[in-house]
Amino acid sequence: MNKQILDKYGLRFTKKVSMWKIEDIPTGPDLIVSYLLALSKSEIEGWLLPEIASVLNNLKEEGEVDTAPVWAEFNKTRTILRNAWNNDNAIVIPTKDFEGIIISWSQFLRRWL
The kind and range of the H/E element at 113 are: none
pLDDT tens by residue, 30-75 = 889 888 988 888 899 999 999 999 999 999 999 888 777 888 999 9
How many angstroms separate the CA atoms of 102 and 46, rounded?
12
* Torsion angle defined by CA atoms of residues 28, 34, 39 and 41, in that order, rounded to the nearest 10 degrees: 20
Mean pLDDT in residue range 22-27:
71
pLDDT tens by residue, 76-110 = 999 999 887 776 778 999 999 999 999 999 998 88
